Every structure is written in structure tokens, then in C-alpha cells.
Amino acid sequence: MKLGEFSLIEILTKKLKTLKKEVVLSVGDDTAVIKKNSTFLLLTVDALVENSHFRREWKKKIRELYYLLGRKLLSISLSDIAAMGGEAKYALVTLGVSESSKLEDLEALYKGLSDASVEYNVDVVGGDTVRSKGEFFDLFLLGESRKFMRRSEAKPGELVAVTGTFGDSKAGLELIEKGKEIKRNFLINRFLNPTPRLKEGKEAVRMGVKCGTDVSDGLIFNLYTIAESSKVSIFIDSGKIPMSKELLSFCKERKRNPLEYALFGGEDYELIITFPNDIEKEITALGFKVIGEAGKGSGVFLDGKLIPKKGFDHFRRE
């Protein structure tokens, strides 16, 4: 299938009707949300697939590749839970293993998954291995929350803020793809070992923040997901977008524009939230940085100029 058809399948997915009244959110936010007595169950699934999210050959350059993939497999789902402001609880994992897969790699993956699950207090309660043409690792995560953020709750006049820095992950991916010999550094770690912003998400919800998402497809792309589902416009200031010194020097050496990386890079796994300006002080105290604000109308604007919706597509091929 071509990419265009691929998004048709996404549309099909979104068409699935839900029947039960306790289903608060299904496809279309960072997690599904189910009302359960006085609390909400948060359900999400994410996969790492060979040649879409990683290449086996990278192991020649990064010896601990599979360990890091095991960690990342959990972290990307944790980021979904963080985007809702929830707490992660239980995971189940499916490993698709090919005839040429190496046992040591799968052991390393399990070690990474297991270490990360202890670190984030998640129980891996189920697992299955299946034979497959290429390798794939699929993880389901169940979380919980008493309150949660949605993508559709941004209001005109609210401030827009983010955690962390943007564009590092894309630069890290390029270092791995193009490098011959590689030393693990900040940028590569940002791509292979992202930090889910669970604490920040939870605290934001506690402060009363109602709108949030995480950045997996690129800052602009995920600002669009908020703008579109909330029916608002979003205005951001290029000078306020957080970028790491490592990204700046990576781009300087290569004569690239770091803003391109930060706006469209993807796989940052940082949070975007919107909130009323009377709690700005409390929110920035949590480590969030204000990058703009929401307005009436539609579209995402950088320094006043409309920016097209464009996302990160892993190993893009058109």
C-alpha cells in the first residue's frame, strides 16, 4: 500500500463505532478512556517495527541497540499515558521474531523492557512471541487516572506550553543512519531512549490543565492535532521553541536549520498543554515553557505565518 492509502486505513479505524456508554474516548486521542467507578482506565498500544522504527544493522554501530529498543518500547506508550496525565500500571507485549533473529538480541530487549518497567513501576503481566517475516515489538499499556487531559479542550486565549527540547530525536536518528562509527551521545539517547513526561503530565492535570497531547509526529503536526480537535488556532513564537545546545551545534556543523528539526522532527515524546494564563506561574514551575497561545479560528501559525501540517514519517518514502 502507498502512504495515501495508509491514512485511509487510519480513517477506517476512526470509523469504528463504540457501543458502551462508559467509553469516554476511543480512537482519536493519545489513549482510549473508559470510565470505571470513580476513576478512568487509559488504554494505549504502540509498536516498534523493523525498518520502520529501527534497523537491525544499527547493532553494528550501537551494541546496546536491543536493550534500548526494549526501553523505548515501553517509553513510547508511557508517553501516551503522560499526555493524558495518568499513571501507568500494566503492560502486555507481543514479540514478532524472524528466523534470522538472534536470541541475545531478544534477551537484551527483554532486559531493557524489564529495567524500564521497574523504573516506571509498570507490571508486564503478559507476553507472547510469534514468528514473523520481519521483527516487530508491540506493547499494550493500561493506565489509570482520576482526571485526564484531552486534545480537544484548548480554548482561545489559553497559553500553549511544552516540556523539554525539540528536534533532538531526528538529529539522533540521522547520526545513527549516516554515521559509520558511533558514540552514544545526547542526541542518539534522545532518539533511542526518550524520557516519558509522566510527572509533568500528572502535575499539570492536578493543576487543572484540561488539554494536552504528546509530540510523536513533530511539534507542528501535534499542535495541529490540538488545533483541529479543539477548533482553535495556535500561534507560536519561533524564538521560544526550546532547542538543545547539542542540536544547535549539530546543525551548525552541517549548516542546517535547527528550527526545521524542532518543528518537524518527530519522536520527541515531549508534552504540549494549553491552559488559562492565571496559572502560568504554577505551570512554568513544573518545567513547562510557554511557546505561544491559542486563538479563535483555525491553523497553526509561526511568527504570524500559517505553517502547513507536515509530520514525521520515520523512514519517509513517497
Hey, which residues between 132 and 151 contact its own copies (CB under 8 A)? Answer: 132-134, 136, 138, 140, 142
Q: For residues 215 and 307, which CB has a smaller minimum distance to its own copies in the complex? A: 215
Q: How far is the CB of 95 from its own copies (least distance, A)?
A: 7
| Neighbour count for residue 43 (Cβ, 10 Å) | 17
Task: Count residues near its own copies (CB under 8 A).
Answer: 72
5 binds its own copies, rule: CB under 8 A: yes
Q: For residues 13 and 284, which CB has a smaller minimum distance to its own copies in the complex? A: 13
Q: How far is the CB of 281 from its own copies (least distance, A)?
A: 36
Segment interacting with its own copies, rule: CB under 8 A, options 67-75, 113-121, 168-176, 186-194: 113-121
Q: For residues 2 and 183, which CB has a smaller minimum distance to its own copies in the complex? A: 2
152 binds its own copies, rule: CB under 8 A: no
Half-sphere exposure of 51 (CA within 13 A, CB side): 4
315: cell is 523512514
Segment interacting with its own copies, rule: CB under 8 A, options 1-9, 61-69, 176-184, 239-247: 1-9
Segment interacting with its own copies, rule: CB under 8 A, options 17-25, 60-68, 217-225, 226-234: 17-25
- Give CA–CA dist 205/83, Å, rounded: 10
35 binds its own copies, rule: CB under 8 A: no
Q: How far is the CB of 193 from its own copies (least distance, A)?
A: 20
Segment interacting with its own copies, rule: CB under 8 A, options 119-127, 150-158, 188-196, 235-243: 119-127
Q: Name which of residues 42 to 101 contact its own copies (CB under 8 A).
A: 43-47, 49-53, 89-90, 92-101
Main-chain dihedrals φ then ψ at residue 217, nearest 5 degrees: -100, 0
Segment interacting with its own copies, rule: CB under 8 A, options 22-30, 58-66, 161-169, 269-277: 22-30
214 binds its own copies, rule: CB under 8 A: no
260 binds its own copies, rule: CB under 8 A: no
Residue from 60, 63, 119, 128 touching its own copies (CB under 8 A): that is 128
